[in-house]
A and B are shown apart, each in its own frame.
Chain A
Amino acid sequence: MLLNQVLGVVRQLIRRPQSLIGSLMVIVFMLLAIFGSSLAPHRFDEIIRGAARLAPSADYPFGTDTLGRDVFSRILWGAREIILLPTITTFLSVAFGSAIGLLIGYYGGLLDNVVSRILDSLLAIPALVLALVMLGTIGPSPVGIIIVIVLLYTPIVARVVRSAALNVRSAGYIEAARLRGESTLFILFREILPSVLPALIVEASLRFSYAIFLTASLGFLGLGVQPPSPDWGRMVNEARGSFAQTPWALWAPSAAIALLIIGVNLLSDGLRRIFRYEGGLG
């Protein structure tokens, strides 16, 4: 049953050109994240003698930067960070968010009222402000980024799951489960979770694309992974000063970020159509 459903979703994704392109783009980036560093002709921090500020060529497809590092290699190396961090944050926020959402959606009442208000107040904090304050105090690190983004996205996932769970909490099969004395855990994860899965999958794909964006932004602000590691966001920032001499050093990481986000969004949009799910928060 589950395998068939997965195959069905894949089939529908392939049928629609936009979704197919999005899926392929995401797959390519995923492969880059895994194999990128071994495919790269140079190390990310290797300064090639006499090769500073070279325009794109057969040797250096994306040119070199002011220090003489190969931009193409740096992009390949950097793929891991920009994909791995959002993957972890998406996974964690979906896990925490769905647990909280299922719980408050199922119980309702006072618990729901209190927790929902806490989630609302978390949602009210501007993302970048929270990130700046937190990473400023605990110091920029991958773990810090993960904590910040999970803190920001868990409430959003929780609200989506909560509203999906609210729709099924009074269904006959939930009440039948209570009447045969099922534990709350069984009801939450075996009875309710499968019905909210479509909403959850769409929301997860959305969160992933936003997490990429936020990770890149934090990198740009210098709060991401510290130099000399090749963070796409920081590459954009570093190349900004020498845009006149090495525009390719700015264009390449910007285009990489843009393409990745476009790919994820196309895939997310395709999933949304398949599951006929409208909603979610920005």
Chain B
Amino acid sequence: MTQTTPIIEARALSIEYKFGRVWLNALHDVNLTIYPNEIHGLVGESGSGKSTLALALMRYMAGNARISGGTIVFDGVDITRTTPTEMRAIWGSKIALVPQDALASLNPSYTIGEQIAEIGRLHLSLDARTAWACGIDMLRRVKIADPEAVAARYPHQLSGGMQQRVTIAMALTTKPRLLILDEPTTALDVTTQAVIVDLFRELIRENDAAALYVSHDLGLIAQLCDRVTVLYGGEVMASASIENVFKHPIHPYTISLLASLPRPVNPTHGMETRLPTIEGVAPSLADRPKACVFAPRCPAAIAICHTEKPPLEQINAERTVRCHRWREIADCTLVIDTAPKLIEMSAPPEAGMVLDADHLEKTFGGESMFGRLTKRNGVHAVDDVSVHINRRSTLGLVGESGSGKTTLARLIVGLEATDDGNLHLLNAPLNAAVDARSRDELRQIQMIFQNPNDAMNPFMSVGETLARTLKRLSSQPMTTAQIDARVAELLESVRLPMDYAARYPTELSGGEKQRVAIARAFATTPALIVADEPTSALDVSVQSVILNLLKDLRGQHGTSYLFISHDLKAVAYLADWIAVMYLGEIVEEGTSEHVYTMPSHPYTEALISAIPVPDPTIKSKQIRLHGDPPSARNIPTGCRFHTRCPRKIGAICETDVPPYRDAGGEHFIRCHIPVEELARLQQDSPNPILDAQI
């Protein structure tokens, strides 16, 4: 990158928050430089200060925050000294923000057109008519198909992806010099995210703007950004070009973070491996270490790391790092061990079925009171779905939101009653409703929930929660001493200290809560555990810990999992059998190797293609699903996927229900295109899951 004048440059920036009577350091000595035409990534876990930094660059801070040191020079002016009035002239016109929650940032009582036009009137001094036309033009530029119609609508009438397009259009209206994107795709489906990210890339280049892209998704950063700054505990750990950070990382935190990303396991045929993880938890604002903030979790920490804060060193023109030992890492005298470890398999695989679900059906009622009763015009959430889970194996269930995967899981655990179909547990018929299930049946199926924050009763301690489960579900009555011993054993199995039994959920971090939820699910060693997106609410470094734990416990107890996730990489890591759902129907199933390699159902192909690969040298193939999934109230005729299918072959897709073709080796694809033809069409596409080598 040529050295020109930066658009924005933060030097030795420190920001403090006031809590009660003390000021706590949220950002310490942060340097960040963004040049014209650059997309700069900002990565960090929750609590690392990345949102504080992103907003501070706009001089936009919470009421209890203050800049305690450093400067922010934007366009030649130090904006740490500007007045609020001067800032208002900059906000929206020279620096624009694309927020994480699009719906919350759009005014619900004005139409889209009115809100965009307002920006034109305010910042560009356009008259009402020109401003409106300009707004329509902006909507067209973010590839909204029918801008006039969309302009007349209210925010809640648009889908999440469309809302995010509108906020981008609004941010770009004034041709800002700097665009700040604060996790703008985190709330979106992976397929929608891919389309939106393509749009960002194109529009930022087109506008000659610079951008700061805040995200916790390393894959996304690798695919989108030119340079990246890694934030941890309010300090910059490393900053460099994308190639350097992803291919030659020299900070132990970056190295560990990259190594902890889930990846499929097929290179080690038959052997179970676990992901390298970062031990411990990120420090909270109040107890950040005085020396190196990462030292307590660092695999390469030595004495000096715990006593002295390393300086932020400028290695060369474009690279900085804050580590005492970067030189050793850079010249390869210090190698941080990131090789996957083998997992102990104490329970050998075993034949036989744990769960047979045949022809499950579930329709939720329609919109009106009458519709609710008659189920006319209802949501057909699960339509004739059959799944089978072997002993000691894991079925991965993937699909976009609204595909019916969570409903299917709830039917299996019995939280929703099936309308039709049969369930068999260990070859014995299983009652559909959880209330009708016997204690033995309940013991055999347990669940891990998506949101760790409401997985435990806030008024019950960890010990009480686990003890209650044991009391209710153990096969024979247990004495208090036995229960206490078992609780201690369970806590140890999820690697929590014994004294956690006395703690309440509010005293635990998200990852710790999820471990307790896992301990609860394993309390009576069930045959099947249903895990509904167990890692999606967690930080990257915690995700790998939880995935490992699930894998370890599976190895020890021989439990089967139904693992639901929209994260195909996590599914690939854990599952040996995968089913892909679309609009209440399974469109492809097979072993994970079969599903992730071609030929695939065009929908699976698009899902895989949408995964951002954490490797900047691999550009994933551009198969994009345009439009939103149709409503499950109104399922398309013929092939359900024909409205979005990039490989649609003709009228047959719209009229005829596609056959469930056998692609060999118990691999099934529901498509009109013959398997051989699919294989030919897809043969030269790279596979972002299997090809990524970090």
Contact = CB atoms under 8 A, between A and B. Distances in A.
Given A175-B447, A176-B449, A181 B473 contact: yes
Interface in A84-137: 113
A194 B455 CA distance: 15
Counting chain A CB atoms within 10 Å of each CB, the highest count among B437, B451, B454, B468 belongs to B454
B19 interface: no
Given A179-B446, A194-B457, 7 more contacts: A173-B465, A176-B517, A179-B413, A179-B414, A181-B439, A181-B442, A181-B473
Given A172-B455, A194-B457, A179 B447 contact: yes
B520 A175 contact: no
B23 interface: no
B472 interface: yes
Contact of B458 (A178, A180, A181, A195): A195
Interface in A125-174: 168, 171-173
Contacts of A176: 447, 449, 455-456, 469, 517, 520
A116 to B, nearest CB: 13
Interface in B404-462: 413-415, 434-435, 437, 439, 442, 445-447, 449-451, 454-459
A281 to B, nearest CB: 24
Interface in B341-396: 369
Chain A at the B interface: SS class: helix
A250 to B, nearest CB: 49
A191 interface: yes
Contacts of A180: 442, 468-469, 472-473
Contacts of A1: 459, 504
B441 to A, nearest CB: 9
A182 interface: yes
B468 A173 contact: no
Nearest to A197: B459
Task: Determine the interface band of chain A, counting residues with CB < 8 A from chain B.
Answer: 10 to 19
Interface string A179-212: 1111000000001001100000000000000000
Nearest to A175: B415
A113 B372 CA distance: 12
Contact of A179 (B434, B454, B456): B434
B454 A172 contact: yes
Nearest to B457: A173
Interface in B468-489: 468-469, 472-473
A173 B454 contact: yes
A72 B311 CA distance: 78
Contacts of B369: 113
B26 to A, nearest CB: 24
15 contacts: A171-B454, A172-B454, A175-B415, A175-B449, A176-B447, A176-B455, A176-B517, A176-B520, A178-B435, A179-B447, A180-B468, A181-B439, A191-B457, A194-B457, A195-B459
Contacts of B454: 168, 171-173
Chain A CB within 10 Å, residue with most, of B447, B456, B457, B468: B457
Interface in A1-30: 1
A13 B381 CA distance: 50
Contacts of B449: 172, 175-176
A168 B455 CA distance: 11
Contacts of A194: 457-459
Nearest to A180: B472
A61 B434 CA distance: 68
Contacts of B446: 179
Contacts of A171: 454
Contacts of B442: 179-181
Top 8 closest pairs, chain A to chain B, by CB: A172-B449, A172-B455, A171-B454, A194-B459, A180-B472, A173-B457, A172-B454, A181-B442
B605 to A, nearest CB: 34
A177 B415 CA distance: 11
A78 to B, nearest CB: 41
A224 B50 CA distance: 65
B415 A181 contact: no
Contacts of A191: 457
Nearest to B445: A179
Contact of B472 (A168, A173, A182, A195): A182
A261 to B, nearest CB: 33
B229 to A, nearest CB: 36
Nearest to B438: A181
A191 B455 CA distance: 12
Contacts of B472: 180-182
Contacts of B434: 178-179, 181
- Interface-central residue, A1, A172, A173, A179, by most chain B CB under 10 Å: A179
Contact of B415 (A113, A168, A178, A195): A178
Given A178-B435, A179-B447, A180-B442, A173 B413 contact: no
Nearest to B452: A172
Contacts of B437: 181
